[in-house]
């Protein structure tokens, strides 16, 4: 699988990353999915201390232990479980970050983390203190690089201008193009890579299309799209983009066609689901005409609410 350097780091990450949140707590099943990812050339695995109360880190660490020096492990910090584990609260303090990283290292069974990410962030945080924590961890050799996971333009701007983050994870897809205006230009300027999550928009951009629509989507729509708009838009996209490829492939390829995007994070709760996503990169790439079609039909702030003429289509 093709690899891409993450920001200004020397981390060469696979264009598809395995988002480990959906692995579940069955070590055998998770091991099978992770091994399938490795066999497909995926070397980038993303987890978080929040997932399954830290059990996800344990499962990922155990599965990757035999190939630790060949993979890139990314985890996250900032969401702190209550003592009774019935919820969590935000803590981006230096004290907590430097304590939490020790626990993540222990669960992962490793003595360093390739990419340590702030799992959110607000403008009310003591941002310079948070940055100082990450910088010290780099100096101590505990982490190789750090990044953030955020969709807040003000937070992204603060870290892009005041820190040495190499990546920013954010939601981005054909149905959520807000980052193109809100974040991409700034991140490109500072040499920071985007790690895109949600490229299939909760399954709406997979081959299943609206069959994957949850009750929430039917009632509230998705991002800036009403459900009725999705019923009009998705068939148009499928009609134009699925000659020689599936909709899943077109959706992932659109995201990866953006120069600032280094990798797509895809989740998988089964081997079959992962294989489908990996095969997307083996299918014909989107043409410039198809990319133009997507950009014309969708907007960064929502559906244009018009059907293209037969000639344009």
So which residues are the catalytic ones? 51
Tokens of 257: 């066609």
Residue in 99, 85, 92 with CA at minimum distance from that of residue 52: 85
The H helix count followed by the E strand count for the chain is 12, 14
Q: How far apart are CA 62 and CA 204, in angstroms?
A: 33
| Strand 143-149 to 12-14 pairing | unpaired
Tokens of 241: 């983009």
CA R_g for the chain? 19
Tokens of 188: 């490109």
Tell me how crowded residue 285 is: count the other CB atoms within 10 A of its CB. Answer: 13
Q: Is 144 in contact with 114 (CB distance < 8 Å)? A: yes
Q: How far apart are CA 30 and CA 36, in angstroms?
A: 10
Q: How far apart are CA 102 and CA 19, in angstroms?
A: 22
Q: Is 24 in contact with 50 (CB distance < 8 Å)? A: no
Q: Is 300 in contact with 181 (CB distance < 8 Å)? A: yes
Q: How far apart are CA 163 and CA 309, in angstroms?
A: 47
Q: How far apart are CA 263 and CA 35, in angstroms?
A: 19
Tokens of 82: 């209550």
């Amino acid at each position: 699988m093709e690899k891409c350097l993450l920001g200004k780091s020397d981390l060469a990450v696979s264009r598809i990353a395995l988002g480990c949140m959906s692995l579940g707590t069955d070590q055998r099943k998770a091991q099978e999915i992770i091994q399938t990812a490795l066999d497909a050339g995926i070397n980038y695995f993303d987890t978080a201390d929040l997932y399954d109360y830290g059990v996800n880190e344990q499962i990922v660490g155990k599965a990757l232990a035999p190939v630790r020096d060949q993979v890139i492990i990314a985890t996250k910090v900032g969401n702190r479980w209550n003592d009774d584990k019935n919820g969590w609260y935000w803590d981006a303090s230096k004290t907590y970050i430097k304590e939490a990283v020790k626990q993540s290292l222990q669960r992962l069974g490793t003595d360093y983390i390739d990419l340590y990410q702030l799992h959110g962030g607000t403008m009310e945080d003591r941002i310079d203190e948070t940055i100082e924590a990450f910088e010290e961890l780099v100096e101590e050799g505990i982490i190789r690089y750090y990044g953030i996971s955020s969709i807040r333009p003000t937070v992204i701007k603060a870290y892009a201008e005041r820190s040495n983050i190499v990546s920013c994870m954010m939601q981005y897809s054909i149905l959520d193009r807000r980052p193109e205006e809100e974040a991409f230009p700034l991140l490109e300027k500072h040499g920071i890579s985007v790690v895109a999550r949600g490229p299939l928009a909760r399954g709406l951009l997979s081959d299943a299309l609206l069959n994957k629509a949850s009750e929430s989507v039917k009632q509230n729509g998705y991002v800036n799209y009403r459900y009725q708009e999705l019923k009009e838009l998705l068939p148009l996209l499928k009609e134009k983009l699925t000659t020689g490829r599936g909709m899943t492939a077109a959706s992932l390829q659109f995201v990866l066609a953006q120069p600032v995007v280094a990798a797509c994070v895809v989740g998988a709760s089964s081997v079959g689901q992962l294989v489908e996503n990996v095969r997307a990169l083996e299918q014909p790439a989107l043409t410039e005409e198809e990319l133009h079609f997507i950009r014309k039909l969708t907007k960064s702030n929502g559906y244009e609410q018009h059907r293209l003429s037969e000639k344009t289509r």
